Structures are given as structure tokens and as C-alpha cells.
Structure 1
Amino acid sequence: MDSAVARERALDAAERLFYGRGVQSVGMDEIRGASGLSLKRLYQLFPAKDQLVEAYLDRRDARWRGRLAAHVAGHEEPRRRILAVFDWLEGWFAEPGFRGCAWINAYGELGAVSEGVAERVRAHKEAFREYVGRLVADAGLPDALTAPLFLLAEGAMVTAGISGSTAPAAEAREAARLLLDAAQAA
């Protein structure tokens, strides 16, 4: 099996286990068993568990942001695109196995002891914030809306992860709508 295929198998197993149970509760032997790779092969690909965790977060980041952007791009009206972020979050929260935000979860477990994890979490959150800022700018709205809209989305993620409910997305969407209405009226 070539390295690219083996790497994807390892990452698929790591994502399933890390996201489902938490990074610290999963050992490399479990990743080996779930991936079907030998422990030697797994360590050739990822010499340390930290490297596997970082690769998992990087790959998930690209996929998460890509899925969000594809959903939002399906809406033409700029203001509607902002609200579409919250619609997408609601769909994500409803997915089987949803356990909250992978980056918030990883930061809670490892942010204080792994600079690599902390860097990836910060980069993911900053990229998401910048994306929200571009949507705000495209709608011709004041940049001051970026931070509250970003925080509404982030709060919805945390609350949905804890509650196991999709309701935080709809609640955050309604708050976002009120902010947009107020900004347009001003």
C-alpha cells in the first residue's frame, strides 16, 4: 500500500476515534487496529501521536471550511449568505455523531501542553473569523459586525456540543438576523 493511502487510512481512523472519544483517551494501538495498519507503518507515517493529532486537525479544517463555503456559495444575496452560515451549522449539529467543535475539544484537552495543537486551533478560528468578515464586507455592512457574528457562531457550536441539540444554531441565526436588521436600519 502506498504512503498516501496508508496516511488516509490512519487519518480516517484517528478522526473517528479522536473526534468520537477525545484525543487523550485514544492510543496509537487503537489507531493501528482501526486503520488496519501495522504499528511500525503507523509510526513511519506519524513518528509521534502529536503529529497525527495535528494532521487530523489540518485535514478536518480543510474539509470543514470547504463544506461551509460550498453551502454559503449556494446563496446569491450577500445578507442571505451570512445567515446561511447558521443554517449550515444547524445541519452540521444534526449529523450523527456530532460532538461539538473538534478544535475547541482538542484545545480543551491539549491546548495548554501542545503548541502545535494550540496553533492549529488558533489558525482555524482566525480563518473562520476572516471568512465571516469577508461575508460582512461583501454585504456592504460595517466591519464591526464581524466579531459579534463570529461569536454567535462559536457560541452556538459550544452550546450544541454540550446540549446535543440543533436549537443553538437557529437561536444564533435569529440573533444574527436582528444584528443585520439593526445595522441596515442605522
Structure 2
Amino acid sequence: MFRNIVVVIISSLVIYCLAGDLVIHTKDDRCSIHTSCDSCISESICTWCVAKSLCTQQRCGNDNVIYPKETQALLAGPDFCPRVADTSELTFASGQNEIITVRITQIYIFMAFTPWKCKINMNGEDITVSGILLADIVYCEIFEMKNESENPYIEGSVKVLWNYNKAFDGSLSFKVCRCDLEPKCVACKN
């Protein structure tokens, strides 16, 4: 009997300790369809759980929470969403090895100690490479830029991932030009 009491007490303590991190998904939670912080908090009933990278109608437990801007809270509005801060488009020459750098903002301290990745979309494919965070810039592992099309330019984008698969809002756009088809491309003049 004593053993059963100990098991019940320990189980209760574990459940109590973890309760703050539990998020129960319900079928009527219309917030769960959102995959980015910005789109999540555009709904007045939704909150963004930063560490879980999750939109929910419920409380986020022991997580940093971002609320819609109409809410009276310290972290309210899209300015607090972890996101890509770069807006300028980059241009690369096809066949060159490049290190892509992406400036990000709203980096929460716990993110800095997780693995960083760059998800590069180019030629209709997603390729994930390692990244390194230094200050507010993610340096993506060296990568060969290839334009295998018959077009002088192709477009691509880079998303920043932290903790393996949690994405910052937004992406950095780039173009890859073929210097044989477009010798006046900015990247071909080097």
C-alpha cells in the first residue's frame, strides 16, 4: 500500500510540473491552422507560444506568449514575432558557392542555444543546410547556387529554422542568374 501511495504522489508531482507545458489540441481550436506568429496573432482569440512555435486558443503554459496587438500585454503585436528582418533581395551567379546571411529579429534567449538551419528553396526543391547564429545574423553553410533552367534568372528563398524545425516568420528572397544568358547580371560582374 505504501508503494502505491508513493507512486500516486510522484505521478501527481510529475503531472503538476509538466502541466504548464501541456497544450491540448481540440477540434474547435481554429487557431491551430496558423503556422506563423504573424498570421496567428492576426486573430483576436489566438496566442503564439514562442518555444513551442505553436498557435493556440489556450494558454501557452510556461512559454513566452505573444498576444494580438489589441490585447493589454507586454508582448502584444507582430513586432514581437521572431522573424526575418532582411527585405532586400540578393543576386547570385549560377555555379558559385555562397554563404547566405540572413538578419533576424526577436531572438529569444533560449533559441540561441538550439541548432540552427537554413531551408533553401530553389529550382522547386527544398534543401536544408546548417546555420550558425552570430548576434542577429544567421550564416547558412556554404551552398552551390545553380540555375539549371533555360531562364536567365530563377528565384529562390531562405527560411531560418531554430531547434531543427521551428521557422522564423518570413524569408529572404534571392535570384540566381546564368551569366551565359544574362552577362549584365549584377552578380556576373565580379
TM-score by length of 1: 0.27
Higher strand share: 2
TM-score by length of 2: 0.27
Higher helix share: 1
- Say which one has the larger Rg: 2
